[in-house]
């Protein structure tokens, strides 16, 4: 019975089935769904313990965010009068509306984290050498875009968090030298936060940024292929070239008859051997599906267990006390709060130093890292290569500092942004909102 069904399935949907290695490759390359995979991938590229499939997990989150986001668009109205109400409706009046919003929210926060960890993985494996440097830069841009997507996203509910986040965020933009005030004016669509501001952030969030990220994601993937796969394969390639090739002496045929010499070595473009590679379908496609399902279920579980936060309706007259940014921006809030420098009568605002110059510097160093890395090439594709110890420690310490700042901001800061140790009583502050 099962065999008959299988045969029927084949007859209905398959005009042909591959009969040789070559035909199997063609089946992948010529298939609409599979053609963006190479016919074969290196086993080393698919090693769970090398990459942890974090890039695939990021892509899965992007897909989940796009689908849930488009669904949310059916219920959300980008108007200052109705935005907050439409979120409340999602929570109380739309079947599974709260679940949808929760999943979108947790997937978004998850994506910020996963994209960063993915970047850390690439750093710790030194996987950005040679032509892969371009993809490193693309990755940094994708990380930034992810942050911008989150920022524009949590403004949309038009609650207190949204309103004061725009206030602080665009005030930081205003501090940029020369162009600052103009940038703020365009972002707000005026001098004050209002309908224009909401609409601008909405269009950025639902159209420009997602399209930009999807296109760049496509380029990111294309480059991975053109660079020959993950940097892990360099290890294999090195191992292969270590084995001295014995070129078989043979006779070659030339116009003038038989001449002694060596035959031309046929090398695969990746420098890998047949046994190092497997067909991408089903070997890779199945793993991608698995990663997607796991990521989907984790976000779904989070959505079932935890509700996305929603503060009171935006109120320009009352600032929440304390007004905290979401966790992935809290370290920036710590920076702008503590980097104002006074030298005599001269003041440099923390908004410029901690909000623009310092993050800009970090970003610049991060972007240029592939060109700063002078370690031997053989360290690429290796976890925590001893030759890159100092670099890895630098990256780890910077990450740790950011995490510490986030912890301080999230757990220790109380009313008026003062430090309150755990257990220490926090004063009651009027909560008017």
Partner 1 sequence: MDGDRRKVLRLIGKGSVLAAFLAQIGAAGRAFFPNVLYEPPSRFKIKRPDDYPDGYTLDAAHRLYVVRQKDAFHVISAVCTHLGCNVQWSDTEFDCPCHGSRFRPDGTVISGPAPRPLEWFATSVSPDGFLEVDSGTEVARGFRLIAGKGNA
Q: In angstroms, give the least distance from the CB of 188 to partner 1.
A: 10
Residue-wise burial string across 309-343, b where 16 or more C-beta atoms lie within 10 A, e elsewhere: ebbebbeeeeebeebbbbebbbbbbbbbeebeeee
* Binding residue for partner 1, selected from 317, 374, 386, 425, defined by CB under 8 A: 317
Contact indicator for 231, 380 with CB cutoff of 8 Å = yes
Q: Which residue has the tokens 């313990």?
A: 49
Shorter beta-carbon distance to partner 1: residue 80 or 150:
80
Residue 257 has φ and ψ, to the nearest 5°, of 100, -160
Q: Per CB under 8 A, which of residues 321..350 are in contact with partner 1? A: 321-323, 333, 336-340, 347-350
353: left (phi over 0), alpha (psi -120 to 50) or beta: alpha
What is the token pair recorded at 207? Answer: 């159209």
* Stretch near partner 1 under the rule CB under 8 A, chosen from 21-29, 113-121, 390-398, 412-420: 412-420
87: tokens are 């979120």
Closer Cβ to partner 1, 362 or 432, answer by number: 432
What span, in angstroms and rounded, lies between the C-alpha atoms of 128 and 381?
9
For residue 34 the two structure tokens come to 């599979």
Q: Which is nearer to partner 1, 65 or 168 (CB)?
A: 168
Q: Which of 269, 416, 421, 425 binds partner 1 (CB under 8 A)?
A: 416
Listed residue (291, 307, 259, 379) closest to 92, CA to CA = 307
Question: Are the C-beta atoms of residues 117 and 295 closer than 8 Å to each other?
Answer: no
Residues 35-54: x where in contact with partner 1 by CB under 8 A, - otherwise, as a string = --------------------
Site residues for partner 1, window 129-168 (CB under 8 A)?
164, 167-168
| x/- track of binding to partner 1 for residues 178-207 (CB under 8 A) | -------xx--xxxx-x-x-----------
Report 381-410 residues binding partner 1 (CB under 8 A): none
Smallest distance from partner 1 to CB 66, Å: 25
**Residue 172 found at the interface with partner 1 (CB under 8 A):** yes
Q: How many residues line the site for partner 1 (CB under 8 A)? A: 38
CA 52 to chain centre: 14
CB of 82 to partner 1, least distance (A): 18
Which residues contact partner 1 by CB under 8 A? Answer: 164, 167-168, 171-172, 185-186, 189-192, 194, 196, 316-323, 333, 336-340, 347-351, 355, 415-418, 429
């Amino acid at each position: 019975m099962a065999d008959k069904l299988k045969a029927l399935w084949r007859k209905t949907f398959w005009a042909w089935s591959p009969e040789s290695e070559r035909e199997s490759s063609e089946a992948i390359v010529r298939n609409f769904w599979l053609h963006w995979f190479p016919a074969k991938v290196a086993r080393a590229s698919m090693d769970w313990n090398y990459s942890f499939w974090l890039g695939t997990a990021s892509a899965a989150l992007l897909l989940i965010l796009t689908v849930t986001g488009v669904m949310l668009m059916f219920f959300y109205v980008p108007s200052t009068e109705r935005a907050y109400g439409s979120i409340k409706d999602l929570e109380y009046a739309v079947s599974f509306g709260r679940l949808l919003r929760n999943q979108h929210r947790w997937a978004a926060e998850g994506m910020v984290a996963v994209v960063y960890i993915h970047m850390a993985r690439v750093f710790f494996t030194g996987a950005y050498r040679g032509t892969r440097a371009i993809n490193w830069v693309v990755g940094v841009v994708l990380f930034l875009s992810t942050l911008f997507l989150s920022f524009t996203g949590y403004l949309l509910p038009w609650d207190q968090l949204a309103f004061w986040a725009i206030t602080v965020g665009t005030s930081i933009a205003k501090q940029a030298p020369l162009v600052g005030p103009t940038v703020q004016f365009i972002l707000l669509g005026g001098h004050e936060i209002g309908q224009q501001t909401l609409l601008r952030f909405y269009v950025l969030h639902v159209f420009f940024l997602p399209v930009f990220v999807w296109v760049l994601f496509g380029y990111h993937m294309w480059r991975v292929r053109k660079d020959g796969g993950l940097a892990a394969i360099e290890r294999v390639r090195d191992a292969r070239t270590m084995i001295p090739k014995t070129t078989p002496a043979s006779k070659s045929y030339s116009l003038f008859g038989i001449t002694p010499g060596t035959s031309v070595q046929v090398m695969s473009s990746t420098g890998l051997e047949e046994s190092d590679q497997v067909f991408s379908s089903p070997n890779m496609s199945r793993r991608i599906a698995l990663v997607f399902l796991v990521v989907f279920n984790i976000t779904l579980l989070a959505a079932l267990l935890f509700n996305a936060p929603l503060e009171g309706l935006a109120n320009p007259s009352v600032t929440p006390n304390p007004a905290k940014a979401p966790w992935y921006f809290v370290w920036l809030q710590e920076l702008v709060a503590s980097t104002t420098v006074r030298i005599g009568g001269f003041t440099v605002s923390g908004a410029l130093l901690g909000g623009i110059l310092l993050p800009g510097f970090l970003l610049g160093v991060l972007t240029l890292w592939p060109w700063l890395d002078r370690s031997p090439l053989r360290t690429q594709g290796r976890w925590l290569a001893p030759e890159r110890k100092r670099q890895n420690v630098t990256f780890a310490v910077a990450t740790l500092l950011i995490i510490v700042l986030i912890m301080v901001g999230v757990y220790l800061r109380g009313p008026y942004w003062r430090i309150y140790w755990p257990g220490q009583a926090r004063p009651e502050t009027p909560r008017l909102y």
